[in-house]
Amino acid sequence: MEKKVITTNRKAFHDFTIFEKYDAGIVLTGTEIKSVRKSAVNLKDSFCKIEDNEIFLYKCHISPYEQGNRFNHEAERTRKLLLTKKEILKMQNKVKQNGYTIVPLELYIIKGFAKLQIGLAKGKKLHDKRDALAQKDQKREMDRASKIRY
């Protein structure tokens, strides 16, 4: 089972603390999947919303396909995500009760199908971001120190 990662939302990992992850299918048109296979996707400012027990992806930029002529797609159209009803209801309850946000984390292709990994997350405060950066720097320094042999 080969998983080809197309793009990751690095900003989401910086701005949010991720608590749970879900893998969702994504409804795409013909020219969109061709652009996805060419890695012409940007998840940076995108977000997910639950409406009428369905979940949708907003502001995900998939560039128009070069050979798409008049059948090309809109770059930032709203796309439906495919999850089970049970998963959607569980996420909806957590969003309403605990104040979670649903953010897209990673877009990948597996067995020819495009999948989107979404996460239940809470926003980080400025001091949390600083702590995370400090820990990352400390880990990098420790790794460097362990590589130096005397």
Domains of the chain (ranges, CATH numbers)? 3-125 (2.40.280.10)
- The pLDDT value recorded for residue 124 is 81
Residues of the chain with pLDDT under 70: 149-150
Residue-level pLDDT at 150? 59
- pLDDT of 149: 64
The per-residue pLDDT for range 15-43, each reduced to its tens digit, is 898 999 999 999 998 888 988 999 989 99
10 Å CB burial of residue 114 (0-12, 13-18, 19+) is buried
Q: How far apart are CA 117 and CA 103, in angstroms?
A: 9
Task: Output helix, strand, coil percentages for the chain, rounded to the nearest 5.
Answer: 35, 35, 25
Q: How many residues does the structure list for the chain?
A: 150
Q: For residue 102, what are its two tokens?
A: 């649903």
